[in-house]
């Protein structure tokens, strides 16, 4: 009797009719099974190994600040039943230990589940590379709140010396999306907290960003929460509040063309980002720069002269 394989046994090649697919690599197993004694000197990077949980340290660059305990308990229950299906990612550090690059939520749940060994994918990474991988992985795959996302973007810019454009490319987002997210960090701490815990939406926050006075921003935030206002209702209230002071169009959060944000970024770095820009629908507008010293102006002038404008 011939040993003809059934359709499913032939894999994707039989199902899709593509002979090239028969060469697809099978899922990676856990090579060398485990590291039991902390002797990882002979283990190559880019392997998946089982590592004792007490040899793994948390990620100091972890962008997530809060872990939902109920969600962790649910994941721990799943791990007790099925095991950890997706390995965490770690890097080797001193004294035979490992440090989490990504997967801290899975790591915490595994400890709750009573696991003593955990599968981990080992990668080579310096501090900057680790920071980038941890932040990008969290932004793309985890449920970060809006402020955690904005702070993650800011860390990539500050600690990895990236421009907004480079950072947007890293995380697979449009530049204007990143810019609008970073603007949330200009809100008062109270409003940022309300945004983090879900009392306020990003839409509400964008409207409040159009209000210059922080005390008024906080008062409006309290009204939104107390009266459960929609974004449209908040816009109407802001219009009425500032009718005598400015035109309604100036009160709303303004979305500018991409090149305007580039100007704000380039010029703003010389003045600690104390720069604002307003633009009408016709393209006319004003740009205001606040400087703290003659030195700031001199640095900006030198940069202009060096660039041979």
Q: Is 104 a catalytic residue?
A: yes
For residue 55, what are the contacts with CB-CB under 8 A and spacing of at least 6?
A: 35, 38, 96, 97, 98
Which residue intervals of the chain are DSSP H helices? 12-16, 69-82, 104-112, 127-141, 146-159, 164-171, 175-183, 189-196, 202-209, 214-227, 231-241, 248-251, 258-268, 294-306
- C-alpha 177/C-alpha 20 separation (Å) is 39
Burial pattern 208-224, b for ≥16 Cβ within 10 A else e, equals: bbbbeeeeebbebbeeb
Dihedral, CA of residue 266, residue 269, residue 271 and residue 277, to nearest 10: 40
Catalytic residue among 74, 104, 272, 296: 104
- C-alpha 148/C-alpha 64 separation (Å) is 7
85: which 2 tokens? 């299906």
At 40, is the secondary structure helix, strand, or coil?
coil
Catalytic residues: 104
């Amino acid at each position: 009797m011939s040993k003809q394989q059934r359709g499913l046994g032939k894999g994707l090649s039989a199902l899709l009719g593509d002979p090239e697919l028969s060469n697809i690599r099978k899922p990676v197993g856990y090579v060398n099974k485990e590291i039991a004694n902390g002797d990882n000197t002979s283990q190559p990077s880019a392997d998946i190994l089982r590592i004792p949980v007490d040899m793994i340290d948390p990620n100091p660059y972890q962008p997530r600040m809060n872990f939902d305990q109920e969600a962790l308990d649910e994941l721990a229950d799943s791990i007790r039943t099925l095991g950890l299906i997706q390995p965490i990612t770690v890097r080797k550090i001193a004294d035979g230990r490992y440090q989490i690059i990504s997967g801290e939520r899975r790591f915490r749940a595994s400890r709750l589940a009573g696991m003593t060994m955990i599968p981990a994918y080992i990668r080579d990474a310096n501090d900057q590379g680790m920071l980038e991988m941890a932040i990008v992985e969290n932004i793309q795959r985890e449920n970060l709140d809006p402020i955690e996302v904005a702070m993650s973007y800011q860390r990539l810019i500050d600690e990895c010396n990236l421009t907004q454009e480079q950072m947007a490319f890293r995380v697979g987002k449009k530049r204007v999306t990143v810019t609008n997210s970073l603007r949330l960090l200009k809100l008062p701490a109270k409003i940022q907290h309300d945004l983090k815990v879900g009392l306020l939406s990003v839409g509400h926050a964008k409207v409040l960003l159009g209000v210059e006075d922080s005390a008024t921003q906080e008062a409006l935030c309290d009204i939104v929460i107390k009266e459960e206002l929609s974004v449209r209702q908040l816009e109407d209230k802001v219009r009425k509040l500032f009718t005598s002071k400015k035109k309604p169009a100036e009160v709303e959060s303004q979305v500018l063309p991409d090149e305007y944000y580039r100007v704000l970024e380039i010029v703003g770095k010389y003045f600690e980002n104390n720069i604002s820009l307003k633009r009408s629908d016709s393209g006319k507008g004003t740009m205001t720069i606040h400087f703290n010293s003659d030195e700031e102006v001199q640095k900006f002038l030198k940069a202009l002269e060096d660039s041979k404008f």
